[in-house]
Amino acid sequence: MTADGGQDVDTIAAVATAPGQAGIGVIRVSGPAARAIGEQVGGDGLRPRRVQFRSFRDGEGEVLDTGLVLYFAAPKSFTGEDVVEFQGHGGPVVLQMLLDEILQAGARIARPGEFTERAYLNGKLDLTQAEAVADLIAGSSEAAVRGANRSLSGAFSERVGEIDAQVVALRVFVEAAIDFPDEDVDLLAEGQIEAQVTEIIDALTRLEADCAQGVILRDGIKLALVGAPNVGKSSLLNRLTGESRAIVTDIPGTTRDLIRADLNLGGLPVEVVDTAGLRQASDAVEAEGVKRALAEASSADIVLVITAVDSLTEQSFEETVAPEIPDLTAIAEVLSDTAEPNQPVDSERIILVLNKIDLSADSELTGRAHDAGYQPVSAETGEGVDALREAIRVKAGFTARSNLFTARKRHLLALKEALLRAESARSLAADTLPGELVAEELRAVHRSLGEIVGEMSSDALLGEIFANFCIGK
């Protein structure tokens, strides 16, 4: 419902700053009664876009707090409605007392994301920009924050809009040819349609690749560390994160439960999960740990399957990955449809790691490990760890660039659908099939692009998107 939609619109309010004690706390109010509430609580004479120092009073005239009031008159505000912001002291009690007074004056508590939702509904933001607001708040790395800012400024939307303009222009051309079949020249048979659809496909392909990078930038990846006991999984976790997150001992089975940590690999957000050593469990607790380890391995984006120099035998590297240890064979069964017992684990999601290379006197060990498909490292000394970090980035398909924008999986799915329908349109045009079929495929491309920026979005989708925002935004 928009502010100018001809229907009554509630005035909403919420604390816009994080919970807890702080020097400053902000309460935001938006809606048709915002100014009246602002003057009732903060005094008469609010002036648009001016910072005014006021006393905030309750209904009895008693001062609750003092601070600044900002009034933004519609439509020149974040939501497109009248907006008033109270900036007072950041104690949770005083903020709640002020919020209660605002609610008694006629506002209601805002739902999560409702301020941004109103900005979208009132045309202040498109849907990708609205989603970028949440991404900016939740950004887990500097690269993610910069990417969210680029989306918020319209970088992603502009790319979508440029392609959509091509699609619309081509639709006009095709449908004109359909509507005027008696012209001397058969527009659909000249090859122009196929060439123009190819240009659209090329643009969609480039945008899909950038969007895939944007999804990784926003969501990051999950990295699971798995292997037998005492191969150095916990030591490697500590080395990757630069912190002593996991207990390290020589006692097999020290890690029983999952240990999670976050790290940033050159702009790539990574959640690392250290797991229990995989072996025949000696008790129920360890058995549960092994079960959870395999579950993490099956759901992770990338799995480091770790073995160690001191666990090698005279066998080749390939033969030591999943041989006589049943638990490592289980990794193969979980992670690869084609894996068979006593065969190397082979999956697009797996990086084989040989740890503890500092324990070997073999000068050719590193080269032999590389030749066998391993990343040789020493969690103790740090040797090879930078190369492992880069291998993780490559496996994730992430390339840090200055022009990346954040994106979501729904955007990627919509682009894949648009590409599929565009390729169908090109095939139909190449076969000189009826123009109506080509036009229908182009309409489907247009619909998919519209879903990205919110021109064609269901209420259920909007509810899901904005429900994930924090209250006050």
Q: pTM for the whole thing?
A: 0.74
Q: Give the other-Cβ count within 10 Å of 41's Cβ.
A: 24
Average pLDDT over residues 126-145: 86
Of 143, 133, 171, 103, residue with least CA distance to 436: 171
Domains and CATH numbers, the chain: 12-125 (3.30.1360.120), 149-217+408-454 (1.20.120.430), 225-396 (3.40.50.300)
Note the pLDDT of residue 414: 94
pLDDT of residue 335: 46
258: left (phi over 0), alpha (psi -120 to 50) or beta: beta
Considering just the CA atoms, what is the radius of gyration of the chain in Å?
Answer: 29
Which are the contacts of 69, defined by CB distance < 8 A and separation ≥ 6? Answer: 38, 42, 43, 46, 51, 52, 53, 54, 84, 85, 86, 87
Per 3-state DSSP, the chain is made up of helix, strand and coil in percentages (nearest 5) of: 45, 15, 40
User: How many C-beta neighbours within 10 Å does residue 266 have?
Assistant: 13
Mean pLDDT of 15-22: 89
Dmax (CA) for the chain in angstroms is 87
pLDDT tens string 407-430: 999 999 999 999 999 999 998 888
Task: List the single range of 33-47, 153-167, 260-274 with lowest mean pLDDT.
Answer: 260-274
Q: What is the mean pLDDT of the chain?
A: 81
- pLDDT recorded at residue 194: 87
The pLDDT of residue 382 is 87
Is the per-residue pLDDT at 328 higher than 60? Answer: no
355: left (phi over 0), alpha (psi -120 to 50) or beta: beta
Please list the residues that pair with 261 across neighbouring strands: 272
Confidence of residue 84 (pLDDT cuts 50, 70, 90): very high
Q: What are phi and psi of 355, to 5 degrees?
A: -95, 165
**Which residues touch 190 (CB under 8 Å, ≥6 apart)?**
none
- The strand pairing partners of 308, in sequence order, are 355
Order of all β-strands in the sheet with 108-109: 51-57, 63-72, 83-88, 25-30, 12-15, 108-109
Q: Sorting pLDDT into bands at 50, 70 and 90, what band is 54? A: very high
Average pLDDT over every residue of 148-165: 92
Model pLDDT, residue 6 = 40
Q: Which of 200, 172, 137 is nearest to 472 (CA)?
A: 137
| Dihedral class, residue 392 (left if φ above 0, else alpha if ψ from -120 to 50, else beta) | alpha
Tens of pLDDT, residue by residue over 435-449, are 788 889 999 999 999
Task: Identify the pLDDT of residue 413.
Answer: 94
Residue 223 CB contacts under 8 Å (≥ 6 apart), including other chains: 270, 271, 272, 273, 300, 301, 302, 303, 304, 392
What is the structure's pLDDT at 403? 82
Q: Quick one: pLDDT at residue 279?
A: 61
pLDDT (mean) for 12-27? 92
Percent of residues, the chain, with pLDDT higher than 90: 36
Q: Give the per-residue pLDDT at 281.
A: 61
Between 5 and 451, whose confidence is greater? 451
